[in-house]
Structure 1
Amino acid sequence: MLKSVSGPLLAAALTAAMTALPVGDTFAQASSPDRIIGVWESDDGDFKFEMFDAGETYAARVIYAKPLVEADGKTFKKDTLNPDPELRNRSLKGIVFLNDLKWDAGDHRWEGGSLYSGATGRTVSARVTLVGEKMELRGYMGTPTLGRTTVLHRAQ
């Protein structure tokens, strides 16, 4: 037998239920592929990049990365570890290091990307998830469970 709920108990139950559901602009914003666009940085300031629309996909270019600069903290190193010998003399400043991210509406994340590390010369798979106002950038080889996640916040 069901009991009738009224008064403060009903109000509390309705408030809890409504705040748990994504509604209106909040839901639309969470499912917008362009929400990834902008400047992102690590909390310690050691990594900063610009995410942009690259046509059918999304990509990112380096603004600053501590491992990619000389001891002076300003001069970008050369891409000496690149597997392509023709690229080894280029500066790592402004390189596009993240490519081919595609929006997956079902999983509410960007997947299928590739992430190039100028610090190691290796390219791995990548995906991005936005959790609240934070970006989780995951680089991995093979399966996403065998990877590393960097958490960033929006700088602009």
Structure 2
Amino acid sequence: MIRFAIAVALVALSGAVASADPAGTWNTAEGKARVRIADCGGGLCATVLSLKEPNAPEGGPKLDIRNVDASKRTRPIVGISLLSGMAPQGDQWLGKIYNPEDGKTYKAYMSEQGGDKLKVQGCALGGLICKTQIWTRAK
């Protein structure tokens, strides 16, 4: 009987997480980028599909010039993964976020704020400093 109750509870919990599945296409804050959130084997990731301003001032596509890994500084921003390893944790998702504006990776949290909004947080210093953005589902 206890095993049955545990099994029912696990099914109910997995259904709650699945109903809050953020997979799909999203516009980042201020519409700077459009990203696709999808399963990337072992967790969700968010890949940049397009940029509001895709070209650098000197011409050509914007590159990942601030990446702390010098070997990645010539890759275009379009196509890189912003979120990685996002796994469900209660009513939110936990993983990593890459910020091309400073070239660093941070601990990340995301949670749906209704069906069309996604709260995305990147945190440093053990969660003492966090930056939050609200992404909107692309139509």
1:117 corresponding residue in structure 2 = 99
What TM-score, normalized to structure 1? 0.68
Supply the distance in 2 between the matched residues of 1:140 and 1:67 (Cα, whole angstroms).
26
Deviations 1:126-153 (A, max 9, x none): 0101121210000110344520110011
Mapping for residues 130-141 of structure 1, pairs under 5 Å:
130-133=112-115, 134-141=117-124
Deviation at 1:68, TM superposition (A): 6.4
Which of 22, 28, 36 is the aligned partner of 2:22? 36
Do the aligned partners of 2:92 and 2:111 also contact (CA within 8 Å) in 1?
A: yes
Is 1:147 matched with 2:133?
no
Do the aligned partners of 2:28 and 2:35 also contact (CA within 8 Å) in 1?
A: no
Equivalent position SS for 2:107: strand
Equivalent position SS for 2:21: helix
Which of 77, 81, 87 is the aligned partner of 1:96? 81
Deviations 1:88-133 (A, max 9, x none): 11111111121111111xx21101x111111211111101011212
Question: Runs of 5+ in structure 2 lacking a partner?
Answer: 1-12
Supply the distance in 2 between the matched residues of 1:51 and 1:101 (Cα, whole angstroms).
10
More strand by proportion, 1 or 2? 2
Do the aligned partners of residues 29 and 75 (structure 1) sit closer, same or farther apart at CA in structure 2, a change above 3 Å counting? farther
What TM-score, normalized to structure 2? 0.76
Supply the distance in 1 between the matched residues of 2:124 and 2:18 (Cα, whole angstroms).
27
When structure 1 is superposed on structure 2, of 53-62 and 30-39 the one drifting more is: 30-39
Do the aligned partners of 1:40 and 1:154 also contact (CA within 8 Å) in 2?
A: yes
Percent identity, aligned pairs only, is 24
Deviations 1:38-82 (A, max 9, x none): 00114632232110101221101112345764249x953121211
User: Larger Rg: 1 or 2?
Assistant: 1
